[in-house]
Structure 1
Amino acid sequence: MNAIAFHFNVPAPVPYLCRLLRKATHAGQRAWVLLPPALAHELDVALWTFAPEEFIAHARHATVEAEESGQVGSGQCLWQRSPVVLAAQLIPQASDWPLLINLLEPVPEGFERFGRLIEIVPQDEALKQAARLRWRHYSQLGLALKHHDAAA
């Protein structure tokens, strides 16, 4: 794990994620995005429509689950070909990816397999409190932490 960055005070997570994922994919980085299912659906739609001249290729967690269970197609799994995966959890096979983006409350189990971790923290007080606990956890592990105020 090279770096952990907390992006605090994110006013609207979906547009923020669209811009962040555009930047990552333009830099050639693959990203695994951990987020609640309802937010994953909203982001899925936004990634198709946020800019008229762009599309960010991505796979949804439901698709990943279906392929993992053998319900979808054959050959290489969709998530292995996608530059961005939207999921509610990590799967063991998702390793050695450059970037993990987390919008879930607990510390992601297996986060250390990724080169970088970005914690997105909306303006909601309960989510801020959960982020403080994650900050403390990473800090106790001796990891380098960065703080970015998205509202600034």
Structure 2
Amino acid sequence: MTRVDFHSQVSDKIHYACRLIRKARAANCQILVLSQDLAQAQSLDRALWSFSASDFLPHTLIEDPLATQSPIVISADQEAPSPHHDLLVNLSQSLPLQFQSFQRVIEIVSSEEQDANAGRQRFRLYQQQGIKPTHTVANAS
């Protein structure tokens, strides 16, 4: 069964995602990041290139022909098939359609009211699927 972890009250979802992605890559995870829209996907793409001077976080957008070879793939398309199934990092406000095909899902939820409400709804939807999500309040996001 998929493990689901919520990280809430995140002040900067892009920066927080970069930190989680770096940690997951250190553990050799292959990652799909689901963004809210193309603009957010492009913001994350830019942030990953400049996030750390000492870490290389190879990534691409899912439309890229090299997506199957990249350990980190960013997508704004819920329906695009994922080349990876280790970790799904969800930045969107929707329940990921393919979440059950992943070993782990990390939901990043900001403190903004709309995002927090959408996060609560996803938490309930996971519970309705028989999953017991964990919840962590983000520190120094």
TM-score, length of structure 1 as denominator length:
0.84
Q: Which residue of 2 aligns with 1:4?
A: 4
1:117 maps onto 2:118 in alignment:
no
Q: Against the structure 1 CA distance between its residues 7 and 27, is the aligned structure 2 distance closer, same or farther, given a 3 Å change threshold?
A: same
Could you say what the CA RMSD is over the residues aligned between the two structures, in angstroms? 1.6
Q: How many residues align?
A: 139
Aligned equivalent of 1:15: 15
| Structure 2: gaps (5+ residues) | none
Q: Deviations over 1:30-88 (max 9, x none)?
A: 1100002112111111111111122200011342xxx4xxxxxxxxxx11111111101
Query: Could you tell me how far 1:151 is from its partner in structure 2?
Result: 3.6
Distance 1:106 1:90, change over 3 A: closer
- Mapped contact 2:17–2:89 kept (Cα < 8 A): no
CA offset digits 1:91-133 (Å, max 9, x no partner): 5642661101111112111110000011110111001101111
Whether contact under 8 Å (1:95, 1:113) holds in the other structure is no
Unaligned runs of 5+ in 1: 68-77
Q: TM-score, normalised by structure 2?
A: 0.91
* Letter aligned with residue 83 of structure 1: P
Q: Quick check: which has more Rg, 1 or 2?
A: 1
Select the residue among 80, 83, 97 that pairs with 2:85: 97
Q: Percent identity?
A: 37
Asked whether 1:149 is paired with 2:131, we answer no
